[in-house]
Amino acid sequence: MMEEELIKIWQSSPNQERVKFDKSRLMIEVQSSMDHFHRMVKYRDLRELIAVIIVIPAFIYAAYSIPYILTKVASVLIIGWGIYIVIRLRNTKKHKPGAFTETYLEYLYKTRDYLHIQKQLLDNIVYWYILPGVGLTMLFVMGFGVLAKTLKMAAMNAVLAVVSYFLNKRTVQKQIMPRLAKVEELISVMEKS
């Protein structure tokens, strides 16, 4: 009963009021979607930070205690790579839009830019995350000089690299692109009115 009355009221309202209703509905959808996205990014960054916090002391110990030169060099490079990952993720966090400091249209522009930065980060993950990780872990294992371990590590690295690549591509298609489309739609609605 109540729902039918609301539908009748909405249908009898002028077009201008309908457009305002549609805009506010879109704004709420975008805001809710972005809040969920920000939580996902926060947890991803936290996972990476915890991994780096674990990896750095382990490879400091490896660089100190393992006598093989190639393994020592790889350990130091892995430590540097871990620090680079944290810096890279923190730099993308700087572009996160603030919801309370600007107009809603400015917030949408910043949100669009932030989504583009996150998309670019995941699109280029092969170059800054996967290839260095694979190369440095291979270098670490090759320092021991055991061919069987090196081949086994190469196979594991290949599988992990392919899985990481496709999971990140899936995240771009399922998480970022739909949100980007909603933000673009809302920007066009806001600019027309």
Q: Which helix (H) or strand (E) holds 143?
A: none
Assigned domain for 76 exists: yes
Assigned domain for 24 exists: yes
Q: Pick the range with the lowest mean pLDDT from 27-31, 81-85, 96-100, 121-125.
A: 96-100
Assigned domain for 8 exists: no
Assigned domain for 2 exists: no
Structure tokens at 144: 């021991």
Assigned domain for 1 exists: no
| pLDDT score recorded for residue 13 | 52
Note down the domain range covering 82. Answer: 18-192
How far is 96 from 114, CA to CA, in rounded Å? 6
Q: How many CB atoms lie within 10 A of CB 66?
A: 17
What percentage of the chain has pLDDT greater than the value 90? Answer: 62
Confidence of residue 6 (pLDDT cuts 50, 70, 90): very low
Measured at the alpha carbon of residue 106, what is the angle toward residues 100 and 111, in degrees to the nearest 5? 85
- Top pLDDT among 188 and 103 is at 188
Structure tokens at 8: 């009748």
Please say if the pLDDT value at position 7 is more than 60: no
Number of domains into which the chain is organized = 1
Assigned domain for 12 exists: no
**Diameter over CA atoms, the chain:** 81
Structure tokens at 108: 């949408």
Query: What is the mean predicted confidence (pLDDT) over 127-143?
Result: 93
| pLDDT score recorded for residue 78 | 97
Average pLDDT, the chain: 86
Assigned domain for 6 exists: no
Q: What is the pLDDT of residues 65-112, one digit of tens each?
A: 999 999 999 999 999 999 999 999 999 999 888 765 567 888 889 999
| pLDDT score recorded for residue 18 | 45
Assigned domain for 7 exists: no
Query: What is the mean predicted confidence (pLDDT) over 149-176?
Result: 93
Please say if the pLDDT value at position 147 is more than 60: yes
